[in-house]
Structure 1
Amino acid sequence: MTMVDRPEPPPIVCVVGPTGTGKNRLALHLAQSLDIAIVNADSRQVYRDFPVVTAQPDAQEQSVCPHYLYGFLPTSDKVDAGSFVRMAREVIAEVLDNGRLPVLVGGTGLYLRALVHGLAPTPPIPESIRKKVASVVRHRGRQWAHRVLSRLDPEWAAKVHPNDRQRVTRGLEVRLATGTPLSQWHRQQTRTPRYNALTLGLDTDLAALTPRLESRIRRMLDAGAEDEAHRAWARCPDPDAPGWTGIGCAELLAMIRGQLSREEACRLWLQNTRAYAKRQMTWFRKESEVFWVQPDARQWPLELVSDWLQSARG
């Protein structure tokens, strides 16, 4: 097949930005005028036990248009960029076959980059190194492991939260097995896109976002976040389970186990959410071809998507 004959990559829209900026609200606004399906691109909203804590769309929101990849994974199971890409590609193909536009919504930048541009060519990790790293992280703790990662691969460490045992562990494994930082492996990703992606980024600053984050945490608590965490702990009493590493989940678990008071857990929850939002801002600011819009903007993003879609579909 020649370059001229190569088919155009299928169209998708990505709605990105820091946590708490209203990405799903914008997508639902698009659904009022466009035939879309919303696909989750947030690594925490996949967990079945935490619909409130991870701010998954509720039943009323999901009734507006089809939603995919929300709340299906047990707390004990893990998801990574590779498994997300496999699931998302299947869903996107189904959505396109049904004549709808896939709109990916979420703040996990690595997942979206891997989806559009492919996965970084990281080598297999010897089982001996996997076991050694897992043992050390388990006995020394996540905070210690993140400090070690900050010395071995500061660029990757800056992108992951200390509670994210899976990604911290992956960074240590790759660095120890290959001598090359995981961040450097990721820079070798192909830049030939698999999708014709229009990316809308919700633009804000940390000072303006912080009160919204604080208010959102209060709403989550009012909506039963503590009871949700208690039920999840009854089903999965393993503090190292992947589902417990998420922000909000980890702090509520510490409260349940008597390690933090309710006040301390809420304060740490806000602190960690704010730090995560800052990392997300840094990540997406480095991404090219993002159309930045204000969190409460509605008409201009709709016009932008409509015009782009008309052009993309010829």
Structure 2
Amino acid sequence: MTASSSSAVPALVPPIICLLGPTGTGKTAAAIAVARRMPASVINFDSRQVYADFPIITAQPDQEERAACPHLLYGFLPLTERMTAARFVELAMEAIAGVRDQGRLPILVGGTGLYLRSLLSGMAPIPEIPADIRRAVLERIRAEGPQRLHAELEQADPDYAARIHPNDTQRNARAAEVLLATGRTMTWWHTSSEHTPAPFAALKIGMRLSLDELEPHLAGRVDAMLAAGAVDEATRAHAKCPDPEAPGWTGIGCAEMLAYLRGETTLEQARSLWVRNTRAYAKRQLTWFAKEPGIRWFAPGDGGSVADCVADWLANRQVGPDD
């Protein structure tokens, strides 16, 4: 795959690079290839890689990768705390400012499309949810499971439902409580309300394979995580927080390991579910990013071309990464 042609962008707007795509497509390796060409720091925008207890299960950059350049917003959140798009935007804005103050290029890396869109297009001003509505939704989740809310979401907001997994307690609950409290869907809030775009010029670079090409790699990736100690990692996390409703347990891989630790599945069943759910997530990511405008796509492993693309784009701006 090759990058599309580009035109210069306004020089006075600070530049950021956004490396995106489905899970398992080599986004971190591409970011490091860029960082070898110019001073840069990587900023995470993956909603699962924020959790401190799951560096293996969420495929956070390893020590060798972190040594190549600074990595921010990885592995800092307790599994008892919830990460939201609004909180991510706040943290990312602070991280970007700090990276620029150091004269480095901010490279955002991840696969949570909503977080990136919220940063670049501005956050929808969703009102505070009343406590009684939040409690009522959580009671429904406990009694009926997130799948029932997801089925209702498919009727009320099919676009948003297609982007989240039926088992995702956090996002299904959020969609339900927002609809109850405001009478508006998440899609409406993200697309129809007033937004204040972030003050950046963003180069969006995507890493992708077709789902058929990606699928065997995803299975191998899960096996590599298990071999690297995913079960032990989940066991330690469970000893600290056995609450299955804790936000950190809702992620793919974490949920399957928790089911195994609770005796609800065998390890082989947990692995099969992990692979299947990872594939479904990658499919949703491909669908999301296919609708995202202005992405320049590359094949995994083509870090040199990605670095060339970034260098050319910055040169067209006639300024450096710290302008």
TM-score for both structures, normalised by structure 2: 0.92
1:214 aligns with 2:250: no
User: Which one-letter code corresponds to 1:156 in the other structure?
Assistant: Y
1:194 aligns with 2:195: no
User: Which one-letter code corresponds to 1:165 in the other structure?
Assistant: T
- For the 8 Å contact 1:121–1:186, the answer to whether it is kept is no
Which residue matches 2:187? 183
1:292 aligns with 2:321: no
User: Which one-letter code corresponds to 2:105 in the other structure?
Assistant: L
Which residue matches 1:124? 128
1:105 aligns with 2:133: no
TM-score for both structures, normalised by structure 1: 0.95
- For the 8 Å contact 1:117–1:194, the answer to whether it is kept is no
Which residue matches 2:6? none
- Percent identical residues: 51
- For the 8 Å contact 2:123–2:196, the answer to whether it is kept is no
- Deviation string, structure 1 residues 251-289 (Cα, Å, up to 9, x no partner): 010011010111111111011000000000011110100
Report the alpha carbon displacement of residue 22 of structure 1 after superposing the two structures with TM: 0.8
1:309 aligns with 2:314: yes
User: Which one-letter code corresponds to 2:78 in the other structure?
Assistant: P
Which residue matches 2:38? 34
Match of 1:165 among 144, 164, 169: 169
Uncovered stretches (5+) of structure 2, i.e. residues with no partner = 1-9
- Deviation string, structure 1 residues 71-121 (Cα, Å, up to 9, x no partner): 011111111001111111111001001000000000001111111111013
1:87 aligns with 2:91: yes
Alpha-carbon distance in 1 for matches of 2:275, 2:93: 33
Alpha-carbon distance in 2 for matches of 1:297, 1:107: 18
Superposed CA RMSD? 1.5
- For the 8 Å contact 2:119–2:197, the answer to whether it is kept is no
User: Which one-letter code corresponds to 1:294 in the other structure?
Assistant: A
Report the alpha carbon displacement of residue 9 of structure 1 after superposing the two structures with TM: 2.7
Secondary structure of 1:63 counterpart: helix
Alpha-carbon distance in 2 for matches of 1:148, 1:138: 16
- For the 8 Å contact 1:53–1:249, the answer to whether it is kept is yes
Report the alpha carbon displacement of residue 140 of structure 1 after superposing the two structures with TM: 1.1
- Deviation string, structure 1 residues 190-214 (Cα, Å, up to 9, x no partner): 3744211001001211000001100
Alpha-carbon distance in 2 for matches of 1:32, 1:124: 43
Alpha-carbon distance in 1 for matches of 2:65, 2:234: 23
User: Which one-letter code corresponds to 1:73 in the other structure?
Assistant: L
Alpha-carbon distance in 1 for matches of 2:89, 2:199: 11
Work out the number of aligned pairs and report it.
309
Alpha-carbon distance in 1 for matches of 2:31, 2:309: 13
- For the 8 Å contact 1:118–1:194, the answer to whether it is kept is no
- For the 8 Å contact 1:49–1:75, the answer to whether it is kept is yes
1:238 aligns with 2:243: yes
Deviates more, 1:181-190 or 1:16-25: 181-190
Which residue matches 1:149? 153
- For the 8 Å contact 1:27–1:38, the answer to whether it is kept is yes
1:268 aligns with 2:273: yes
Alpha-carbon distance in 2 for matches of 1:311, 1:266: 47
- For the 8 Å contact 1:75–1:244, the answer to whether it is kept is yes
Alpha-carbon distance in 2 for matches of 1:11, 1:289: 15
| Higher relative contact order, chain-length normalized (CA < 8 Å, sep 6+) | 2
Alpha-carbon distance in 1 for matches of 2:18, 2:182: 33
- Deviation string, structure 1 residues 123-143 (Cα, Å, up to 9, x no partner): 332222111111111221122
Secondary structure of 1:103 counterpart: strand
